[in-house]
Amino acid sequence: AQSVTQLDSHVSVSEGTPVLLRCNYSSSYSPSLFWYVQHPNKGLQLLLKYTSAATLVKGINGFEAEFKKSETSFHLTKPSAHMSDAAEYFCVVSDLNNDMRFGAGTRLTVKP
Amino acid sequence: DAGITQSPRHKVTETGTPVTLRCHQTENHRYMYWYRQDPGHGLRLIHYSYGVKDTDKGEVSDGYSVSRSKTEDFLLTLESATSSQTSVYFCAVRQGTSTDTQYFGPGTRLTVL
């Protein structure tokens, strides 16, 4: 069975500094991997996805993630945090049948 | 937003009462999903549908049933609500291939007293 572990439940950064949200996955097959963002009291919005093409995936709002098979990781990064990035972020792994498994989430706080 | 609406958006009910949540989509997506979101668990799949009248169970299906009589509507029913079903419920849709993205609705906050 596939699974996702988000290594930090809460990350706090200052505005203008880099963001790193860590995600490790487990899957028997070549997975599809996603990052979603959820702002307070909102639904989930897709940030980016990996589906076996380029290992460095660029998403919306300046986010990107790198698929590292040897490390079974799919960490999310952004060079410079903005106040509007404060939200909860979910890493998701999907198998051949589109059975999606969510991580527990990482809450990102951005300090002025 | 992939043309997804959920109703109601908020509901408070009492233990033992039946509750039905509705997901409506306007873009003819084949697959529809119901998830629940609880702190520390991310989202967990309750049931999903792969076509009209075709549904299957997800990870946390106990206490829930679903129906899909039309492509655009996917109903989630709690036959007899319990306090453990207090949660935020999200509907999602996707098109055809296994690598397609799932798009999520705005959610329904359900409180069972």
Q: What's the whole-number mean pLDDT along residues A9-29?
A: 94
Give A69-92 pLDDT, tens digit per residue: 999 999 999 999 999 999 999 999
Give B57-112 pLDDT, tens digit per residue: 998 999 999 999 999 999 999 999 999 999 999 999 987 665 678 899 999 999 99
Nearest to A44 among B40, B94, B104 (CB): B104
Residue of A nearest to B104 (CA): A44
User: Two tokens at A47?
Assistant: 């940030």
Query: Are the C-beta atoms of B15 and B112 separated by less than 8 Å?
Result: yes
Share of chain B residues as helix, strand and coil, in percent rounded to the nearest 5: 5, 60, 40
Q: What's the whole-number mean pLDDT along residues A38-44?
A: 89
- For residue A44, the chain B residues in CB contact (below 8 A) are 43, 90, 104
| CA–CA dist A17, A22 (Å, integer) | 16
| CA–CA dist A14, B38 (Å, integer) | 28
Report the DSSP beta bridge partners of residue B76: B21, B66
